[in-house]
């Protein structure tokens, strides 16, 4: 049996996977951000194995730390909101005590030097020191969402692979039985099977002519 988190929330079957994903979507704020990341990765991986489209924005946002190094377009805005929430506070991190706004500037400046995950760790430390954890999901984005996610546009790092069709759309199309049947009819069973197994890679490697045939098959020409 496969589970989404700590031996709980089964995702072995398609029905269990959908039920668990919907449960997390409904009660996401009850889970720590680190648990959200673990669950999103497990659910997304199992959805790919079962060829099931699980279309929840929280999964797109929280699975990103393990898939992409793109920084959220909302990063600066989220950092400014932290400054507003910690006005007048002094924080101590690694025995260094400075004004909260100065510490946030230090963390922001470390983004390119140390990398995204290191900044996530620093924000966890900052939020704990500034007692901001209770404001996650209320007025503040948690550290993972601050660096990697966007409530306004979870697919901000989408890449066009064929025409206007993005990598995110391809993964969804691979779970659409009608689209798959059309691909089989126009491009053959082998292409359809390869597309189901690896949608982005399969289309990326196609010639321009085959991409046009693919777009025609899915009604995007």
**Placement of tokens 């995702």 in the chain:** 11
Contact 9, 3 (CB under 8 A): yes
Q: What rounded mean pLDDT belongs to the chain? A: 94
Instruction: Spell out the domain ranges in the chain.
Output: 3-66, 75-147, 160-217
**Which residues make beta-bridge pairs with 209?**
none
**Which residues make beta-bridge pairs with 35?**
none
pLDDT one-digit tens code per residue, 126-142: 999 999 999 999 999 99
pTM of the predicted structure, to 2 decimals: 0.91
pLDDT one-digit tens code per residue, 53-78: 999 999 999 999 877 778 999 999 99
The per-residue pLDDT for 94 is: 81
When pLDDT is averaged across residues 30-57 and rounded to a whole number, the result is: 95
**Closest alpha carbon to 32 in 152, 128, 151:** 128
User: 60: how many CB neighbours lie within 10 A of its CB?
Assistant: 23
């Amino acid at each position: 049996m496969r589970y989404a988190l700590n031996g709980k929330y089964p995702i072995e079957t398609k029905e269990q996977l959908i039920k668990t994903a919907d449960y997390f979507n409904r009660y996401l704020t009850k889970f720590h951000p680190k648990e959200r990341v673990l669950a999103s990765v497990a659910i997304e991986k199992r959805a790919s194995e079962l060829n099931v489209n699980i279309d929840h924005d929280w999964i797109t946002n929280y699975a990103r730390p393990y898939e992409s190094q793109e920084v959220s377009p909302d990063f600066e805005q989220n950092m400014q909101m932290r400054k507003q929430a910690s006005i007048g506070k002094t924080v101590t991190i690694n025995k260094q005590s400075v004004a909260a706004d100065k510490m946030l500037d230090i963390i922001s400046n470390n983004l390119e030097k140390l990398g995204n995950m290191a900044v996530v760790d620093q924000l966890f430390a900052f939020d704990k020191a500034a007692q901001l954890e209770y404001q996650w999901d209320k007025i503040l984005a948690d550290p993972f969402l601050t660096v990697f996610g966007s409530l306004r546009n979870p697919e901000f790092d989408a890449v066009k692979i064929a025409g206007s069709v993005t990598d995110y759309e391809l993964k969804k199309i691979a779970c659409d039985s009608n689209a798959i049947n059309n691909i089989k009819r126009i491009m053959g069973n082998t292409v359809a099977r390869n597309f189901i197994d690896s949608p982005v890679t399969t289309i990326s490697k196609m010639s321009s002519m085959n991409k046009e045939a693919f777009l025609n098959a899915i009604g995007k020409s």
